[in-house]
Structure 1
């Protein structure tokens, strides 16, 4: 005889017992319970009530590139509806505005200073990977999937996921070949994979966490870079004139740090290729918006699929951008620096269990490092001490305060291509120091929301500058 343990009870199984009807029925019942994904509480057996979780990430989408955030041009009806029924975080930021570093922060819940991924080739260590939200959810019994662009390191952990359909290294192209050799836009390819995942895992009782990373609206790198959109969106916004950026003129460019004016400045070179003329500006901002509308279409189809599967009432959806983007702001194209357009991103959390009476418009300052602990919180998985972010469920439900400011860091490449910058971003004051040049910026966002007047050298603000320097040193050390 040997012991057989299941659901907290021990049975002694003899050879004569195996042929009995009771044994057969018992095995069928045990298998059915395992397949149904049950949780055991004492002597009772209850269905797994933990929600499914879907995390949607766009690439280079700035905070105001969303209808519900006040953009009068862009068409994002499905995201608008999700924000209206869920939680809209109006002041969401990233701690480092560049793809790979921000993605590492999203997965780990850590500042770059702690996870140490500051470029495009460094991978998570085994220990660090084990503490990312997908791996911790898998250990807790979740099925996990990843679709689109992984974007961290050069050895993605594809074999660790139950479902994996990713462009493993660097930026994927916009046009891919499907199994029949036909061209498929990356956004449409992501949609197909999402539906495949849901067909397989959305019909099971075991909860899942699916991470979906779009290429859109990132430009296709080149000289000059370009935007490639689906044919069905090519005429969208055709008869609309895109308003000029309030801080996008020549005067704003003149007010940037003097070392920005080096001809090797990547942000300026890309500006010349995409936004250097009015014709370029109109064409490329529209293409940027078209790519986001394409993502919005996928969000609508995703929610329809969840409804057809009957799991829309137990699926939490989180939508965010990996970093912001300057559409000619300050005479620049791209991200990297601490400007508002670069560091602010959209963030929506849709929880179908949200109490109707709970306000969904959230003004608190939240960060990309908050996503991992929030996902773990929804899954009822303990948040490891290594994570530096917050569980945003408490902010949304109970209006728990978050933080008055945060540490910003961007150290990739360096001058003259992308000058290194660190600092403190607060709700009113912003302090940036370009560490290679010892060049300081201080902005009063209440009086100067477009960051056109650097008051760091103003004698009136000597005390404020001193306070921000001290706060910078304190937050930098705490981010380690």
Structure 2
């Protein structure tokens, strides 16, 4: 066990506003988070196959960060660490047990907002513990604790939800929703927004969808439906991954076992795009309800996904890889006070940078437990780089570094090393491996990656043959003991 005791409880206490402010001075925050949405599964970002008018409308009014990454994951459920990182403003090796629990020493974003006069409300997915949810939110409805709606329990069509429990125990609060999951979450958000104009305090409404995460076998009776023959395959489609990346037998890859034909993948994509469009419709309902409150002009809107998904790209179906389709995420911010609309920013950033950014935007102090970087200067037009590079990790078998327009990925599967080096500008689909053609540059990236892993207390060491112990794939029981914060 690696026990971390470097966080001083006194320095992590909730902080108060540094100056006297009336409750009405701070803007509201509407945070729309989706699950497993590719960064390119949006019409306004270039996908000609999909219909997303409401998300497109947000992109037209906000700043879209086109090179946003989640830091990765140590287990197959990427959303758990991703959402914990987002809520704590901390990186992968700085959250506890891959995000399963958020300890009290890590002040969550809604917890900090709540301590500074915000009404905090949540609906939808929470992939950490009950206690951290209740520290974060003063109210909630149609809450889903867990990773996904199970196939054997009728999936999204019969979501197993909870009413808010002030005690935080969540015993006797469960029920089965009668509507599709996205509609249940949108209904709860709309119900909360109707009360917004009646309260002088600013609000944070966290709407955490479980769509377009599978199951994809039952689409709702609303939204656009797609036919396989009307859509096209992604340019980097492959029937199967060219080598063993350590995760070819995971659940996500068995939804449609490889090798996969183009026809099979198109059928699956049609269902996936249907899920994207149905959640887009529910986002539209929430935005319409926000307009009806008269609060739109004083509400910051954030839209993002917790992680991406391969859906046939590079021969994969799931998200347990370090290709951009899986660790790259869509992310945009609308600040009604910012006159620059519909702009794109290609600065390298992490999803968890949203925490300090929002604190900066509403004028409250950033807790010392937060290690992310504020994007506020970029929103205001700064051109300096926020980061020179980002590092990415998955399990104990994959590590990567993105710098400038290049990405270096290295795999260690039972002691077998595989390297990839991509020019992301010329080859955004990551199909042309330049590791042999540019060995010196790839080696430079590997050295920098090794340095970043040490700086961020990664338990893997690239300078050893197996990186970690005997090189076996880390188990869940081993994983949850690695990073404990007290």
CA contact 1:145–1:209 (8 Å) conserved in 2: yes
Alignment partners' CA distance in 1, 2:124 and 2:181: 8
Mapping for residues 33-182 of structure 1, pairs under 5 Å = 46=22, 48-96=24-72, 98-118=78-98, 122-128=100-106, 131-153=107-129, 156-158=132-134, 160-165=136-141, 166-172=143-149, 173-176=155-158
Does structure 1 residue 297 correspond to structure 2 residue 281?
yes
| Higher helix proportion | 1
Distance 1:346 1:203 in 2: 33
Matched, 1:383 2:366: yes
The residue aligned with 2:313 is 329
Question: Within 5 Å, which residues of 2 pair with 1:242-391?
Answer: 242-250=231-239, 253=240, 256-258=242-244, 264-272=249-257, 276-356=260-340, 360-391=343-374
Q: C-alpha offsets along residues 185-240 of structure 1, whole Å, 9 cap, x if unaligned?
A: 000001110011112334211011111110100012xxxxx44321223x623385
Q: Is 1:473 aligned to 2:450, yes or no?
A: yes
Partners of 1:182 and 1:270 in 2: how far apart? 25
**Deviations for 1:353-372, whole angstroms, at most 9, x for unmatched residues?**
1125x662222222212111
1:277-319: CA deviations, max 9, x gaps?
A: 4443223212211212122222222222122211111011100
Q: TM (normalized to structure 2)?
A: 0.78
Q: Could you say which structure has the greater relative contact order, defined with CA pairs below 8 angstroms and 6 or more residues apart? A: 2
Check the 8 A contact 2:38/2:330 in 1, yes or no. yes
Task: Give ranges in structure 1 of 5+ residues lacking alignment.
Answer: 1-38, 221-225, 415-419
2-structure distance, mates of 1:144, 1:272: 42
Question: Deviations for 1:32-69, whole angstroms, at most 9, x for unmatched residues?
Answer: xxxxxxx9977xx8552100001111100011111110
CA contact (8 A) 2:114 2:120 kept: yes
Q: Is the 8 A contact 1:203 1:309 kept in 2?
A: no
**In 1, Cα distance between equivalents of 2:305 and 2:345:** 17
Equivalent of 1:232 in 210, 222, 234: 222
CA offset at residue 377 of structure 1? 1.6
Contact 1:158 1:164 in 2 (8 A): no
CA RMSD, Structure 1 to Structure 2 (Å): 2.7
My pick for the range that moved more, 343-352 or 308-317, is: 343-352
Structure 2: stretches of 5+ with no match in the other structure: 1-16, 150-154, 164-174, 458-486
Distance 1:181 1:109 in 2: 32
Q: In the TM superposition, what is the alpha-carbon distance from 1:157 to its structure 2 partner?
A: 2.7
Kindly report which structure 2 residues correspond to 1:397-476, keeping only aligned pairs within 5 A, or say none: 397-400=380-383, 401-411=385-395, 420-436=397-413, 437=415, 438-456=417-435, 458=436, 460-476=437-453
